[in-house]
Amino acid sequence: MSPSTTAAAPAPVADWVDVAAMQHDPYETYDRLRETGPLVRVPAMNRYLATTFEGCRAIEADQVTFSASVGGAGATMARALGATPMLRKDDPGHAAERRPVNPCLRPKRIRESWVPLFERNAQTYLDELVAKGPGAADLNLDYAAPLAAQNLVDMLGLRGVGVGAEDMRRWSHAFIAGIGNLQDDAEIWARCDTAQAEVDACLDELLPRLRSAPDTSLTSALAASGLSDEAVRANVKLTISGGMNEPQHMVTNVVWALSRHPQQRGRVLADPALWPSVFDEAVRWLSPIGMYPRQTTMDTVLEGVELPAGAILGVVVGAANRDPAAFDHPEAFDIARPRQPHLGFGSGVHLCAGHWAARISIGEIGIPLLYDRLPDLRTDERRSEEWFGWVFRGLTHLPVTW
């Protein structure tokens, strides 16, 4: 029997949740769900949502009861990427696929292998942003998206086979749409299949080359891992789907947050050692991944709530990161808050493999270089910005000026 079986009650039901409204702004819904209970059944989503810090952390601490091998969403991931990657497996299968990439994603190796490329990419797209001019520049389209895409091209070592930022953006979007294609939309599968074929063609050329002449890329680490060809390819595609959008969104999230908090902006511009705190607080406050799924493997009780075997859970880290039981004044963006863990990168065995890569490429390079070149950078109130999403949340347009 699993976690606690003390006095338990069925999950409260939230039939009032408006999923369309959450796409625009999920935070009021998160607060109301959390006040309703740590685990709430949401019929509109056919799942239970966990919205407290403790509840989300407890789920991630017990992969025997709360499996990452989720039906539905898990099945679309295998369809989208050609096979199930590490993200939808439990240990030991997950660990076997994660182990080979861990060494190249540690800070020391990132600094040795990729930092010069991250700096060069930031300078390249900064030039393009500046050329757009302060009346027309869109930080998302002109800087954040191409920078995150090109950084990922370089981490995967795909520059040598002619892959560019625009290919990466197209593939990443096609895979993400496929992973979310629960409605089985044929057009989405067609775009996803094209992306799969293009990535496979690159890997056909690259994998044999890397096996005889390894380099410092993630693809090289996977190629040398002894994993099956199918697993290597699925995990390259997982990284393509997961390694672009969130770093992209963090560029715009930080600039948006600092534009609304000019005093904190002044503090970090005066003391660049604060950049890591700015990045981490922004990941907590505006988590680019709001929710990810798990499934119970047996009847269980979580935070006093009964769950049947086979229940699909949403681990709503976007809500847990604003849980007043875990954070003082959680609704405030505060770069001076005492250091404490948040769940923006997940936790447990699936803790984001690329969290150091994101912290360094964006938090230490992509954003500080922006403000070095454009110290007056701020959102342009004369043009409208646009937020979208709650499962994946970010700014689709962020007009900026300087």
Q: Which residue, 100 or 242, is less far from ligand HEM as judged by CB?
A: 242
What does the alpha-carbon distance between residue 156 and residue 364 come to, in Å, rounded to a whole number?
20
Q: Is 332 helix (H, G, I), strand (E, B) or coil?
A: coil
Minimal distance, residue 382 CB to ligand HEM, in Å: 29
Residue nearest to ligand HEM (CB): 354
Q: What's the burial of 45, exposed, middle or buried (CB within 10 Å: 0-12/13-18/19+)?
A: middle
Q: Which residue, 275 or 292, is less far from ligand HEM as judged by CB?
A: 292
Q: Helix 229-242 crosses helix 186-212 at what angle (to 10 degrees)? A: 120
Minimal distance, residue 351 CB to ligand HEM, in Å: 7
Q: In this structure, what DSSP letter does residue 339 have?
A: P
Minimal distance, residue 135 CB to ligand HEM, in Å: 29
Minimal distance, residue 95 CB to ligand HEM, in Å: 8
Please provide the DSSP assignment of 234-263 as one string: HHHHHHHHHSSHHHHHHHHHHHHHHHH-HH
Q: Which residue, 246 or 380, is less far from ligand HEM as judged by CB?
A: 246
What does the alpha-carbon distance between residue 145 and residue 133 come to, in Å, rounded to a whole number?
17
What does the alpha-carbon distance between residue 55 and residue 39 come to, in Å, rounded to a whole number?
8
Q: Which residues pair with 301 in a beta bridge?
A: 306
Retrieve residue 269's tokens: 């511009």
Q: Which residue, 41 or 98, is less far from ligand HEM as judged by CB?
A: 98
Minimal distance, residue 312 CB to ligand HEM, in Å: 13
Q: Which residue, 86 or 223, is less far from ligand HEM as judged by CB?
A: 86
Q: Which residue, 77 or 380, is less far from ligand HEM as judged by CB?
A: 77
Half-sphere exposure of 362 (CA within 13 A, CB side): 35
Minimal distance, residue 253 CB to ligand HEM, in Å: 9
Site residues (vs ligand HEM, CB under 6 A): 86-87, 98, 155, 238-239, 242-243, 246-247, 250, 283, 288-289, 292, 344-346, 350, 352-354, 357-358
- Which of these, 292, 264, 290, lies nearest to 279 by C-alpha position? 264
